[in-house]
Amino acid sequence: MPDKNFLSIKAKKGQVSEIVTWFAATAIIIIFLLISVYITSSLGIFKGDFGSLEAGQTYIPAEKSFYAYLSTPLSKEGEIENKIIYKILQEQTIKKPAVFNLKGAEADLADKIFNNFYKTNFSKIWIGFVDITAISNTPFGEALKETASLNFQCSSKSILLNPQNKINFRMDFCEV
């Protein structure tokens, strides 16, 4: 027959441990809730990020400049007729050996248009020839689209220069 005192101590101990369990459970629930609130408030920062360039989206003003650039007639030494830049670049790809660099007046005009107009909006601007991959050139260097992946959004536009060799001329505007 157990002692009455012993039983009441045991019952009290049981009650205390039960209360501790409830307190612990409440604390866990509240901590979990606070963490959730913190995550939600930090997610809210990214919610309103509208207006920046989406992947695959074309940047209309740059696209207009790109077509105008390719349609610009340039006078070349020793040639009577002015050729448009598209034609000049096309001939560069047909030449043997083909030239995939941007040089002379074409390079200067590209630099004046694209770097002057869009440098403030985009951290990387690249214009040049594209074979299977983009071919680096003197004024614009290496194409970012091929050298890095993710972490940036690019707007691209390309035009076919040489159907036989599948050579394109492309512009990339990237936000890194």
Catalog residues that contact other proteins under the rule CB under 8 A: 22, 26, 29-30, 33, 36-37, 40-41, 43-44, 47-48, 50-51, 60-62, 64-73, 113, 117-118
Compute CA 30 distance to the chain's CA centroid, rounded to the nearest angstrom: 39
The least distance separating other proteins from the CB of residue 73, rounded to whole angstroms, comes to 6
Instruction: Kindly tell me which of 83 and 99 has the beta carbon lying closer to other proteins.
Output: 83
The least distance separating other proteins from the CB of residue 26, rounded to whole angstroms, comes to 7
Instruction: Kindly tell me which of 45 and 150 has the beta carbon lying closer to other proteins.
Output: 45
Instruction: Kindly tell me which of 60 and 132 has the beta carbon lying closer to other proteins.
Output: 60
CB neighbours of residue 76 within 10 Å:
13
Instruction: Kindly tell me which of 120 and 164 has the beta carbon lying closer to other proteins.
Output: 120
The least distance separating other proteins from the CB of residue 117, rounded to whole angstroms, comes to 5
The least distance separating other proteins from the CB of residue 41, rounded to whole angstroms, comes to 5
Instruction: Kindly tell me which of 31 and 133 has the beta carbon lying closer to other proteins.
Output: 31
3-state secondary structure the chain: CCCHHHHHHHHHHHHHHHHHHHHHHHHHHHHHHHHHHHHHHHHHHHHCCCCCCCCCCCCHHHHHHHHHHHCCEECCCCCCCCEEHHHHHHHHHHCCCCCCCCCHHHHHHHHHHHHHHHCCCCCEEEEEEECCCECCECCCECCHHHHCCCCCEEEEEEEEEECCCCEEEEEEEEEC
The least distance separating other proteins from the CB of residue 147, rounded to whole angstroms, comes to 27
